[in-house]
């Protein structure tokens, strides 16, 4: 039975690109009229923009915020605050600038409007850390919590990638430690897991060289949620260690978090396996500590304490300091345990259940990778090397057992045995794993002005029967009659005559002809040609949703993992117009079932089209005696460059 205490923190959040422009409104909303503006180091330009936005509200400006909120700096800022008689601070910058705003609020009661430019999360916590004579102390008070936070995505977009990566890892640490906090509760758990997913998405994007407002927006939303977790529940070993390393050894704040996090997670993993499982699901992995290491490493972040300036001969003292006073943590905090953790972090070892195993697998992987060096086909060798690296990593990360490996081999063997000229289990496997759609995107989505492509699917048969314009593909099979009137043009709308168009589809029960043993000749498939106007008309029946073949190993896999087998209803087209690139695509019936959960991930928005209900005779005069459907569509195909 759930049992928990939860106090919601009363901050107002304004989120979105360009929200800096709303700063003056937010100050008015608080009933304040004299602003002391704090702009963080390196952020003078943002300060200038804010000066303009604040206009007559601006009473003064102070740009001297420093890491860990030194009290001398706070003293100077208070003098300025009093001199200009400010009743509100507006702060733009990272955790350091927010810290100064909080220090002013804690001493004078001024309201705070914070515009964060990093992912530190301080802006949504009632916690203030300050340093005096080199000693950092922390206190928590509801009065410290900023009244308003303006998350302007464009401000965080200016954060250099190197800082963005470590800052996102800093935020990730808040979310992760919230999940095993003694004060953990379902509300914060939900926020923490969402934060983990958003931050991991953002880090992955940065690692892949994708860095746009959308990516920064996800990171910033993750940072807000993670900061809220930090402000709401107590943290554990990770935060204590980072506090010690930053406070006593002057290590930089967010890089320290980025290095320590995977090791603190590994330290606690055995004590809270269910928490690690929940995190692993959001990271799309089975090994949460290793995955958090990989995320930072792949995005170019630091992975060792050594690299961020920790002296190796201070590890003993760091372990002493971090274990001097007891604090809550899932796994018991021992001096030896923390010393071993610090050693791993110092050397940047990837957390693994067994480092010796990791090293031997690493040696083996290296050998196999080098074995591809001799040939003269560099692309093939490169693909083989990367495949080996990922396969070995897959086995290692998942601690693959001999039985599981054998089950995989059996699976592929069965896929081979069931595959024939008309049944392709390997394509089905690729389709249901989404790989076909990935390759399709890579191949066909680089030119946006043509009709989207879609996967070929396993039921295409080479050399379909040639049919004349106006032919009936259904050969009298039962179903809702369909009249198709399609045109093939180039991207500028010029019609393309003599385009060869292969069409194929399932019958009303969801079967393709090749799945029906009693048929003598192909049905519901054919090869037609566009006329002089690029037009093509044919009759058929309305396609219905259908299950992919489930009697093979792919069907077993979907059943075992609780996935359904259905494809959204669609017609297949393969279009080859002279001088133009081949287009393989599908048209989906608007309003049909499974459009949002197609078993092979083939649905694209522009391919979902009306199959409009009609009555009366069809355009070719055929009387169908009831409702029929009409499909009108123009395919735009790309010229061969």
Binding-residue pattern over the window 203 to 232 for ligand NAD, x denoting contact by CB under 6 A? ---------------------------x--
Comparing CA positions, the residue from 569, 568, 546, 571 lying closest to residue 474 is: 571
- Residues paired with residue 480 on neighbouring β-strands, in sequence order: none
**Options 50-58, 83-91, 113-121, 283-291: segment touching ligand NAD (CB under 6 A):** 113-121
CB of 178 to ligand NAD, least distance (A): 13
- Is residue 253 involved in binding ligand NAD (CB under 6 A)? yes
Structural tokens at position 595: 């459009």
Q: Which is nearer to ligand NAD, 133 or 518 (CB)?
A: 133
Active site residue 629: no
Active site residue 570: yes
Active-site residue among 263, 512, 594, 636? 512
DSSP letter for each residue of 184-231: --HHHHHHHHHHHHHHHHHHHHHHTT--SHHHHHHHHHHHHHHHHHHH
**Options 118-126, 196-204, 506-514, 610-618: segment touching ligand NAD (CB under 6 A):** 118-126
**Options 158-166, 437-445, 505-513, 581-589: segment touching ligand NAD (CB under 6 A):** 158-166
- Is residue 595 involved in binding ligand NAD (CB under 6 A)? no
Active site residue 564: no
**Options 156-164, 267-275, 432-440, 600-608: segment touching ligand NAD (CB under 6 A):** 156-164
CA atoms of 257 and 175, how far apart (whole Å): 12
Among 148, 167, 323, 444, binds ligand NAD (CB under 6 A): 167
Which burial class, exposed, middle or buried, applies to 336 when counting CB atoms under 10 A from its CB (0-12, 13-18, 19+)?
exposed
Active-site residue among 46, 546, 629, 636? 546
- Is residue 118 involved in binding ligand NAD (CB under 6 A)? yes
SS3 302: coil
Active site residue 377: no
Binding-residue pattern over the window 53 to 92 for ligand NAD, x denoting contact by CB under 6 A? --------------xx------------------------
Residues 6+ apart with CB under 8 A from 467: 473, 526, 527, 528, 538
- Is residue 41 involved in binding ligand NAD (CB under 6 A)? yes
Q: Which is nearer to ligand NAD, 53 or 608 (CB)?
A: 53
- Is residue 618 involved in binding ligand NAD (CB under 6 A)? no
Active-site residue among 239, 537, 539, 567? 567
- Is residue 163 involved in binding ligand NAD (CB under 6 A)? yes
Active site residue 46: no
- Is residue 542 involved in binding ligand NAD (CB under 6 A)? no
CA atoms of 221 and 421, how far apart (whole Å): 50
Active-site residue among 263, 282, 570, 629? 570
CB of 140 to ligand NAD, least distance (A): 9
Structural tokens at position 483: 């009249």
- Is residue 40 involved in binding ligand NAD (CB under 6 A)? yes
SS3 11: coil
CB of 258 to ligand NAD, least distance (A): 10
**Options 154-162, 300-308, 439-447, 555-563: segment touching ligand NAD (CB under 6 A):** 154-162
- Is residue 175 involved in binding ligand NAD (CB under 6 A)? no
Comparing CA positions, the residue from 457, 465, 459 lying closest to residue 421 is: 459
Residue 434 burial (CB count, 10 A): 14
Residue 628 burial (CB count, 10 A): 22
Residues 6+ apart with CB under 8 A from 371: none
279: which DSSP letter? H
Residue 3 burial (CB count, 10 A): 5
Which burial class, exposed, middle or buried, applies to 579 when counting CB atoms under 10 A from its CB (0-12, 13-18, 19+)?
exposed
Of residues 358 through 387, those in contact with ligand NAD by CB under 6 A are none
CB of 253 to ligand NAD, least distance (A): 4
Comparing CA positions, the residue from 58, 39, 331 lying closest to residue 180 is: 331
Specify the DSSP element, H or E, that contains 362. Answer: helix 355-370
CA atoms of 470 and 535, how far apart (whole Å): 11
Among 23, 112, 122, 329, binds ligand NAD (CB under 6 A): 122
- Is residue 96 involved in binding ligand NAD (CB under 6 A)? yes
- Is residue 134 involved in binding ligand NAD (CB under 6 A)? no
105 in Cβ contact with 146 (< 8 Å): yes
- Is residue 129 involved in binding ligand NAD (CB under 6 A)? yes
Residues 6+ apart with CB under 8 A from 7: 232
- Is residue 255 involved in binding ligand NAD (CB under 6 A)? no
- Residues paired with residue 398 on neighbouring β-strands, in sequence order: none
Strands 546-547 and 566-567, sheet pairing: antiparallel
Give how many residues touch ligand NAD by CB under 6 A: 31
**What are the CA-CA distances from residue 349 to residues 210, 266, 306, 343 (Å)?**
27, 12, 11, 9
- Is residue 49 involved in binding ligand NAD (CB under 6 A)? no
Q: Which is nearer to ligand NAD, 95 or 549 (CB)?
A: 95
**What are the CA-CA distances from residue 257 to residues 84, 100, 245, 272 (Å)?**
38, 21, 10, 20
506 in Cβ contact with 544 (< 8 Å): yes
**Options 7-15, 16-24, 125-133, 458-466: segment touching ligand NAD (CB under 6 A):** 125-133
375: which DSSP letter? S
**Options 37-45, 445-453, 477-485, 628-636: segment touching ligand NAD (CB under 6 A):** 37-45
- Is residue 121 involved in binding ligand NAD (CB under 6 A)? yes
Catalytic positions: 512, 546, 567, 570, 572
Binding positions for ligand NAD, rule: CB under 6 A: 40-43, 67-68, 93-97, 99, 117-118, 120-122, 125, 127-129, 155, 158-160, 163, 167, 170, 230, 253-254
């Amino acid at each position: 039975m759930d049992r928990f205490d939860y106090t919601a923190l009363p901050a107002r959040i304004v989120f979105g690109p360009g929200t800096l422009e709303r700063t003056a409104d937010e100050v008015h909303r608080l009933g304040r009229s004299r602003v002391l503006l704090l702009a963080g180091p390196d952020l003078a330009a943002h300060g200038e923009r804010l000066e303009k936005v604040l206009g007559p509200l601006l009473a003064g400006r102070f740009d001297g915020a420093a890491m860990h909120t030194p009290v001398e700096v706070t003293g100077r800022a208070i003098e300025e605050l009093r001199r200009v008689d400010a009743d509100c601070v507006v702060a733009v910058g990272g955790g350091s600038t927010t810290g100064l705003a909080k220090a002013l609020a804690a001493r004078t009661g001024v309201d705070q409007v914070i515009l964060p430019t990093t992912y530190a999360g301080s802006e949504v916590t009632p916690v203030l850390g300050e340093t005096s004579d080199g000693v950092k102390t922390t206190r928590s008070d509801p009065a410290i919590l900023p009244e308003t936070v303006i998350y302007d995505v464009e401000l965080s977009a200016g954060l250099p990638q190197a800082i963005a990566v470590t800052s996102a890892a800093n935020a990730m640490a808040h979310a992760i430690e919230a999940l095993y906090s003694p004060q953990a509760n379902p509300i914060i758990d939900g926020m923490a897991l969402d934060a983990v997913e958003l931050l991991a998405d953002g880090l992955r994007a940065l690692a892949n060289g994708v860095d746009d407002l959308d990516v920064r927006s996800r990171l910033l939303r993750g940072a807000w949620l993670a900061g809220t977790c930090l402000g709401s529940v107590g943290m554990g070993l990770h935060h204590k260690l980072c506090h010690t390393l930053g406070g006593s050894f002057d290590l930089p704040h967010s890089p320290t978090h980025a290095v320590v996090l995977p090791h603190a997670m590994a330290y606690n993993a055995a004590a809270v396996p269910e928490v690690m499982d929940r995190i692993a699901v959001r990271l799309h992995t089975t090994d949460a500590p290793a995955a958090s290491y990989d995320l930072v490493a792949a995005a170019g972040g630091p992975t060792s304490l050594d690299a961020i300036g920790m002296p190796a001969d201070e590890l003993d003292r760091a372990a002493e300091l971090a274990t001097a006073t007891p604090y809550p943590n899932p796994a018991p905090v021992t001096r030896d345990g923390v010393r071993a953790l610090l050693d791993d972090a110092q050397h940047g070892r990837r957390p693994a259940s067994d480092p010796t195993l990791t090293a031997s697998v690493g040696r083996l992987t290296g050998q196999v990778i080098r074995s591809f060096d001799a040939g003269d086909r560099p692309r093939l060798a490169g693909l083989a090397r990367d495949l080996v690296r990922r396969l070995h990593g897959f086995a290692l990360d998942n601690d693959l057992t001999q039985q599981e490996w054998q089950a995989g081999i059996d699976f592929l063997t069965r896929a081979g045995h069931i595959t024939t000229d008309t049944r392709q289990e390997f394509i089905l496997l690729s389709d249901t794993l989404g790989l076909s759609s990935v390759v399709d995107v890579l191949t066909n989505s680089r030119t946006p002005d043509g009709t989207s492509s879609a996967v070929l699917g396993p039921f295409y048969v080479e050399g379909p029967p040639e049919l004349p314009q106006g032919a009936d593909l259904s050969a009298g099979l039962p179903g809702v009659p369909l009249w198709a009137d399609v045109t093939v043009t180039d991207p500028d709308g010029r019609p393309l005559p003599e385009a060869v168009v292969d069409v194929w589809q399932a019958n009303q029960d969801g079967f393709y002809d090749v799945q029906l043993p009693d048929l003598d000749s192909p049905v519901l498939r054919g090869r037609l040609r566009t006329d002089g106007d690029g037009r093509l008309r044919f009759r058929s029946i309305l396609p219905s949703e259908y299950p992919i073949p489930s009697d093979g190993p792919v069907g077993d896999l979907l059943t075992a993992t609780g996935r359904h087998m259905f494809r959204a209803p669609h017609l297949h087209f393969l279009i080859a117009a002279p001088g133009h690139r081949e287009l393989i695509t599908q048209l989906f019936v608007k309003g049909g079932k499974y459009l949002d959960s197609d078993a092979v991930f083939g649905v694209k928005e522009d391919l979902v089209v009306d199959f409009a209900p009609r009555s009366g005779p069809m355009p070719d005069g055929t009387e169908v005696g009831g409702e029929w459907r009409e499909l009108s569509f123009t395919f735009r195909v790309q010229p061969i460059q």
